[in-house]
Amino acid sequence: MDKIFLRGMKADTLIGVYDWERTHLQTLVLDLDIGVPEKSAASDDISNTVHYGEVCEAVRNSLYEQDFLLLEVLAEHVAKLILDNFHAQWVRVKIIKPGILPDVKEVGVEIERSKS
């Protein structure tokens, strides 16, 4: 199983179910594991793999332009974005919402999806 990963990627979006959460953008922390085709290691050609710089830019832009109530829906959105637009075979998306609850370091969600 070949993969690339991004750890601690920050992205801003409007997220939350409480009125006070919906008044300003929040910074989320994402960890992404992206399954790449085995041929990725066969050459030094970027077109044979997943360009993680483009993934990062696409995810950040998409989240900035939209708003969500639930982290689960946001994670599904990110997974679909990656699977539909890159050469990803599968993806694991972990989203952390730091400091949102008193005396809780972080809350979040993690999902895994693959191409059908």
Q: What would the DSSP string read from start to end of 51-82?
A: -HHHHHHHHHHHHHH-EES-HHHHHHHHHHHH
Per-residue pLDDT of the chain (116 residues), as tens digits, is: 799 999 999 999 999 998 988 999 999 999 999 999 877 777 887 887 889 999 999 999 999 999 999 999 999 999 999 999 998 999 999 999 998 888 999 999 999 999 87
Q: Would you call 97 a catalytic residue per the annotation? A: yes
Question: Given this model, what pLDDT does residue 45 score?
Answer: 79
Predicted structure pTM score:
0.92
DSSP state of 114: E
Tokens of 73: 């829906």
Set 10, 39, 97, 105: catalytic member: 97
Q: How many residues belong to the chain?
A: 116
Task: Give pLDDT, residue 4.
Answer: 95
Q: How far apart are CA 92 and CA 45, in angstroms?
A: 24
- Domain residue limits, the chain: 2-114
CATH of domain 2-114: 3.30.1130.10
